[in-house]
């Protein structure tokens, strides 16, 4: 049986990829599977207790139930919060997509399900020759697109969906995340995307006063995703029926 594994991308930076990825990890864990999260490239880290920490990386780790070394889940942790290709060059780091692929394979071997969060938008440069789109293509996973709901998001979402398709990757679903709580005609904008994106809407995360993986997951339905596991309680119920 194929393991659930997904690549989470977004229409821009700071639009809720980490919240959506954490919600996905939480939902998988609730199904009773051993789930691991990856953010292969993270830009923006601070030193705490002698170790570099990134908020997104820490949030993903908190939502998983499989603990793995940071060098596997985030092989490239960059200190400056800027475009990855610029920071990597400044820090003397060469981002190697094959290395990320090998790290992913080791993570996947240690868990029943894997969620990989990209960095920035879908086509963010990682080096002089590679982009996040190349990384997604290297991994070859079904893609989940997070749309930051704010003015201008319609074009960003449709262009991102086109870019995903151009790479030959399946868009497994998309999530609307309310970035601007004052956005006018929010429902109409969501409907406009729903009729134009050939992938299921997995849900709409409202502007949460205290965002968390569990609170975000409560607004989402991942059951249409490929290889989505049956929750453990449903398996138990089925077994009980069989015994009777």
Show the beta-strand stretches assigned E in the chain.
5-10, 35-38, 41-43, 46-48, 51-53, 76-78, 113-117, 143-149, 171-178, 201-205
Residue 2 has pLDDT above 70, yes or no: yes
Rounded to an integer, the average pLDDT of 223-240 is 67
Q: Quick check: 104 and 68 in contact, CB under 8 A?
A: no
CA 143/CA 21 separation, integer angstroms? 12
CA distances from 75 to 5, 97, 124, 172, 176 (A): 18, 10, 17, 26, 29
Half-sphere exposure of 173 (CA within 13 A, CB side): 19
d(CA 166, CA 202): 22
- Distance, in Å, from the CA atom of 11 to the CA atom of 21, rounded to the nearest integer, reads 14
pTM of the model: 0.93
**Band of pLDDT at residue 196, cut at 50, 70 and 90:** very high
In the block, tokens 């199904």 appear at 31
Question: Contact at 8 Å (CB) between 172 and 143?
Answer: yes
Pick the catalytic residue from 3, 17, 39, 242. Answer: 39
Are 109 and 22 a contacting pair, CB within 8 Å? no
Report, as an integer, the average pLDDT of 161-165. 98
Instruction: Tell me what pLDDT residue 232 has.
Output: 53
Q: What is the pLDDT of residue 1?
A: 54
The confidence score (pLDDT) of residue 7 equals: 98
**Which numeric CATH code is attached to 8-243?**
3.40.50.300
Residue 234 has pLDDT above 90, yes or no: no
Position 50 scores a pLDDT of 75
Separation of alpha carbons 59 and 34, rounded Å: 17
Q: Would you list the domain boundaries of the chain? A: 8-243
Helix or strand or coil: residue 11?
A: coil
More confident residue, 52 or 174: 174
Residue 242 falls in the annotated catalytic set: no
The answer, yes or no, to whether residue 73 has pLDDT greater than 50, is yes
Q: What is the pLDDT of residues 87-109, one digit of tens each?
A: 999 999 999 999 999 999 999 99
Closest of 79, 91, 29 to residue 222, by C-alpha: 29
pLDDT value at 151 more than 90? yes
Confidence class for position 176, pLDDT limits 50, 70, 90 = very high
**How many C-beta atoms lie closer than 10 Å to residue 42's C-beta?**
27
Query: Poorest-confidence range of 6-10, 75-79, 92-96, 234-238?
Result: 234-238
pLDDT at 244 exceeding the cut of 50: no
pLDDT at 106: 98
Is residue 78 scored above 50 in pLDDT?
yes
SS3 label, residue 43: strand
Tokens, residue 159: 């262009």
Mean pLDDT of 34-63: 92
Radius of gyration for the chain, computed over Cα atoms and rounded to the nearest angstrom: 18
């Amino acid at each position: 049986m194929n393991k659930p594994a997904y690549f989470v991308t977004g229409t821009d930076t700071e639009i809720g990829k980490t919240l959506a990825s954490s919600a996905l990890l939480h939902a998988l864990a609730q199904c009773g599977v051993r789930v691991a999260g990856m953010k292969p490239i993270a830009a923006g880290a601070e030193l705490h207790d002698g170790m570099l920490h990134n908020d997104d990386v820490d949030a993903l780790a908190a939502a998983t139930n499989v603990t793995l070394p940071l060098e596997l889940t985030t092989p490239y942790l960059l200190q400056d919060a800027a475009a990855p290709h610029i920071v990597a060059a400044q820090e003397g780091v060469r981002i190697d997509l094959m290395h990320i692929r090998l790290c992913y394979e080791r993570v996947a071997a240690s868990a029943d399900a894997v969620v990989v969060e990209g960095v920035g938008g879908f086509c963010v440069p990682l080096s002089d020759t590679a982009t996040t789109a190349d990384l997604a293509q290297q991994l070859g996973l079904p893609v989940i697109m997070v749309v930051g709901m704010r003015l201008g998001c319609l074009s960003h979402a449709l262009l991102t969906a086109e870019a995903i398709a151009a790479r030959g990757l399946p868009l497994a679903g998309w999530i609307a995340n309310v970035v601007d709580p004052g956005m006018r005609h929010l429902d109409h904008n969501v409907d406009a995307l729903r009729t134009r994106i050939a992938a299921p809407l997995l849900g709409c995360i409202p502007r949460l006063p205290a965002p968390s993986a569990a609170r975000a997951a409560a607004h989402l339905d991942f059951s249409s995703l490929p290889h989505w596991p049956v929750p453990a309680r449903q398996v138990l119920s089925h077994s009980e029926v069989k015994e009777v």
